[in-house]
Structure 1
Amino acid sequence: MVSLSRRLQLRKNSLSTPLLFSQSLSSIAPLGSVAAYLTFALAQAGQLTPLAAVIGVLLYGAWVVIAYQYSKEVESVGGTYQFARESLPRILASVTGWLYWGSYMLFIISTSSYLLGIVIPMTPLPPSLLPPLQLGLPLMILGVMLTGVRPPLYYTLVTSVLEILVIFALGVLVLTRTGLPSISLGVSPLELASGSLAVSYTVAGGGASFFLGKEAVRGGRAVSRAYLSAFTLAAVSVVFAATYEVAAAGENLGYLIDSGFPGLAIAQEYACPGFERLMLILTVNSLIGSIIAAYSALSRLTTALVRTDLARSVLLIALIYLGLSSIGLATNNFFGVYEDMTAGSLFSLFLSHTLLSAGFPFFLKRRKALKLWKVILSSLSVFVMILMIAFTAFSLGETSSAGIAAVIVFSILGVIHAGSNMP
């Protein structure tokens, strides 16, 4: 345990900007978003999905600017929890920290369930491999985490760049054959707004680098720049992908939506089999990379919340990961687990962002940097996050009860934490 603690010890000035960029970009999972998650936007906004993508990116951009300012000023292991401590009363800061903790933990389970229950069955692997994979994936992720922070970041840096190249290569293949998509106005303003919020989901998640502030060379400035760069690249990729997916489908968007994997469906039609296989492999890798990035951030957040070392945090998360992952295996209902965990993760994430956005003016006031436009930005971000919570509840229907339950549980943990002697 001593040698493990030494290997996983947090080291100042050990992570360069490219590695911080890797952490942010891999946590967004750009190819996973393009290959699958844009389905929700296509189902809502139809032919106007490219416009919805632009609007969605701009809406989420209000939070991005706020998060950029936080990460630039605050260098910490606690990331968003530390942001909350410097902008909100103690009890709300603790609630925010635990909501973020819950969001990451449930995201890991949700993405694992999606990968094993929905994506892997699309591959040639026999179904009999699912049970060992259900246990093997958490153990594999744990093994990666035990190597330290740098090896997985180098790996995801290479693969994330490959993902972006594949996204743009497929777009070029499509648009050289179809041209730009025609604009159809047969979509209501409500459907356009819903599609825009769905796109906002796809570019969320880049804040995993906030928890590397203490380890970053050049500290918060490097973290904030890496975060903004990763978001910008992912946003451009998603808008471009929305454009060529609509162009590829033409008037027949239904088959893309029904496929559940529009990016892969287009690759099957417009690219060679080798390209399609590469895209599928990188999509799986994209999801695994996002799990690793979330695990890395979560382990540091755990360290900040419960004041333990990183090695114990990594092992504690592994136990919870294995325990919750076994639910899908025991019930043989991966999709149900995916839906419930996704609901919990999204509700917790957006509520924590709401609190941080609301606290932003107080953060600035302490630094004597409060300006009117930043107050307006804070209000806009709060409004957008509330809209995203409402849209999530509307979209998920009865499943939203799992999200509400998660928020209650993690909020209670935050209240207990605030009343304890922990800092």
Structure 2
Amino acid sequence: MTDLEKGAVGFRELLGQSIALIAPLGAVAATLTGAAQFALGSLPLSYLIGIFGVLFWINVPYQFSRKIGSAGGFYDFAEKGIGKRFGIFTGYLYLFSYFNVITNSIIFVGGVFIPSMLSQFFNITLPSLIWIPIMLIFLALITTLAYLGIRPSLRYSLITSIIEIALLVIFSIIIIVKAGPRNTLEPFTPTPAGGWAPVFEGMILAIFSMSGSSGAVYIAEETKNPLKDVKKAVLISFLITGVVFVLTSYAMVIGWGINNMSTFAPSGVPGLILADKYVGPIFVAILLAFILNSFFAGSLAPLNSASRLLYALGRDNVAPTYVSKVHEKFKSPSNAILLLGLLSGVVSLITGLIMGPFYGFLFLINMSAISLFIGHMLGDVALPFFYKKIREFNVVYHLIAPIVSFIILIFGIYYSFYPPTYPINYSAIATAIYSLGVLAFIFSRKVKVSQRG
């Protein structure tokens, strides 16, 4: 075992990691479209409220990152706040969440997005099982780039993330300008949604789509100035993407038609349909390429984060020590990356074959969401204890803000998983089984609960 490479990346690369984990174009194609199913013409309002929700969300990684820079991220945050067992449970929940970001992304690309895109724009119907080789090729490319080290991964993510943001801004401005007199402030009211309940349902997905900015915390050990740059990357990436999501959601509502939003999500690829209508086929082709890239970068980023977290767990002997090996040349946690890549392929393949790609995608993304929400709630609990220990407690940042975040996440779980419908009910059951298994492991004799020096 060797250490990860110190000082391998700087603030810009961290910013690329955070934005890539949000995956702006991919989020517009998938999560924003899902939020529109609930919020309808009030979609921009859901995102605007969601921005304030995420401010409370990112307070936790921001505050912890001021004092702790570790590949373990929330695992170390929670451990330093309350104790080893609490930290391990939090770490494994985050590992499960990031792992299922990878699984749901690759199955969505291979089994949902590419077939829908080819059918909508080229009238091509793919063979029913062609999603399997597409998905596996996609996964192999992601795993290879992650294996080659953090620098090429994050530089790639930074460049493509900047292009994604630029494309969304250009796309949105063109629609808004061409819409002319149809521009109105009505999308920022609950009226088009039919009330506040669907607005808040849409807000939960909006929060989920913007929550990826905290992924930078897992790159801290490879960062030149972790205690300074990680917290900045978490905050700035969120602010940039939050503003862009509000702008894009407004443009899409205006472009589609406030009163026609019931057909927005069922269309499958509403963003591409709007691009074709308002900008033209060349822009559609460019957008298509970068949406695919967004899914690529949005799968690469959680693989980078999850592999560092798994590496930290292995280093502390609360995961197989095999995963704590660092590649001698590339300085990447190579065994952790290969294991996660292999398991991602197996889980996505089995899920897709049993449920079909679309329902498999919903099953996996909901497992990711609920484990992420619970993991973050544990971080909310740990934050005030940590700052009490180091005697720098602030009642606003270290008590009130995490309480608000905790309450928001309770509503998030409620609206995401109730009433139980297929396959969401199975997502909740599978996550519960995984959590119980982790707890059984933690309280077995296999876990040494002494603090790491």
TM-score (norm 1): 0.93
Aligned to 1:211: 218
Aligned to 2:431: 406
* Alpha-carbon distance in structure 2 between the residues aligned to 1:254 and 1:131: 31
Aligned to 1:276: 284
Q: Secondary structure at the match of 1:390?
A: helix
Superposition pairs of residues 1-400 of structure 1, within 5 angstroms = 10-121=4-115, 122-123=117-118, 127-128=126-127, 129-179=130-180, 180-183=183-186, 185-186=191-192, 187-250=194-257, 251-307=259-315, 308-309=324-325, 310-328=333-351, 330-331=353-354, 333-374=356-397, 375-394=399-418, 397-398=421-422, 399-400=424-425
Displacement of 1:372: 2.0
Q: Secondary structure at the match of 2:400?
A: helix
Displacement of 1:109: 0.6
* Alpha-carbon distance in structure 1 between the residues aligned to 2:84 and 2:391: 21
Displacement of 1:47: 2.2
Deviation digits for residues 163-187 of structure 1 (CA, Å, limit 9, x no counterpart): 0011000111111111433416242
Letter in 2 for 1:195: G
* Alpha-carbon distance in structure 1 between the residues aligned to 2:283 and 2:266: 22
- Cα 1:57/1:395, change in 2 over 3 Å: farther
* Alpha-carbon distance in structure 2 between the residues aligned to 1:142 and 1:36: 22
- Cα 1:300/1:408, change in 2 over 3 Å: same
Displacement of 1:130: 2.9
* Alpha-carbon distance in structure 2 between the residues aligned to 1:119 and 1:95: 34
Q: Is the 8 A contact 1:98 1:414 kept in 2?
A: no
Displacement of 1:329: 5.7
* Alpha-carbon distance in structure 2 between the residues aligned to 1:209 and 1:225: 10
Q: Is the 8 A contact 1:348 1:406 kept in 2?
A: yes
Letter in 2 for 1:181: T
Displacement of 1:295: 0.4
Letter in 1 for 2:20: S
After TM superposition, the structure 1 stretch with the greater mean CA deviation from structure 2, 47-56 or 173-182, is 173-182
* Alpha-carbon distance in structure 2 between the residues aligned to 1:68 and 1:331: 40
- Cα 1:46/1:376, change in 2 over 3 Å: same
- Cα 1:411/1:28, change in 2 over 3 Å: farther
Q: Is the 8 A contact 2:74 2:87 kept in 1?
A: no
Letter in 1 for 2:312: A
Deviation digits for residues 262-287 of structure 1 (CA, Å, limit 9, x no counterpart): 32221121011010111111111101
* Alpha-carbon distance in structure 2 between the residues aligned to 1:338 and 1:202: 15
- Cα 1:360/1:333, change in 2 over 3 Å: same
Aligned to 2:329: none
Q: Is the 8 A contact 1:97 1:414 kept in 2?
A: no
Letter in 1 for 2:8: S
- Cα 1:24/1:137, change in 2 over 3 Å: same
Displacement of 1:86: 1.0
* Alpha-carbon distance in structure 2 between the residues aligned to 1:253 and 1:303: 45
Letter in 2 for 1:218: N
* Alpha-carbon distance in structure 1 between the residues aligned to 2:97 and 2:235: 21
* Alpha-carbon distance in structure 2 between the residues aligned to 1:48 and 1:40: 13
* Identity fraction in percent: 26
Q: Secondary structure at the match of 1:204?
A: helix
After TM superposition, the structure 1 stretch with the greater mean CA deviation from structure 2, 146-155 or 285-294, is 146-155
Aligned to 2:330: none
Displacement of 1:326: 2.3
Displacement of 1:138: 2.2
Deviation digits for residues 297-341 of structure 1 (CA, Å, limit 9, x no counterpart): 111111111222222212221221222132156447111221211
* Alpha-carbon distance in structure 2 between the residues aligned to 1:407 and 1:259: 33
Displacement of 1:93: 1.6
Q: Is the 8 A contact 2:352 2:360 kept in 1?
A: no
Displacement of 1:73: 1.5
Q: Is the 8 A contact 1:344 1:402 kept in 2?
A: yes
* Alpha-carbon distance in structure 1 between the residues aligned to 2:344 and 2:28: 26
Displacement of 1:135: 2.4
Q: Secondary structure at the match of 1:83?
A: helix
Structure 1 residue runs of 4 or more that deviate by more than 6 Å after TM superposition: none
Q: Which runs of 5+ in 1 are unaligned?
A: none
Q: Secondary structure at the match of 1:60?
A: helix
Deviation digits for residues 344-375 of structure 1 (CA, Å, limit 9, x no counterpart): 11110000011111221111111212122131
Q: Is the 8 A contact 1:33 1:238 kept in 2?
A: no
- Cα 1:395/1:288, change in 2 over 3 Å: farther
* Alpha-carbon distance in structure 1 between the residues aligned to 2:288 and 2:368: 25
Letter in 2 for 1:127: L
Displacement of 1:51: 1.6
Letter in 2 for 1:277: A
**What RMSD, in angstroms, separates the aligned Cα atoms of the two structures?**
2.0
Letter in 1 for 2:86: L
- Cα 1:240/1:417, change in 2 over 3 Å: same
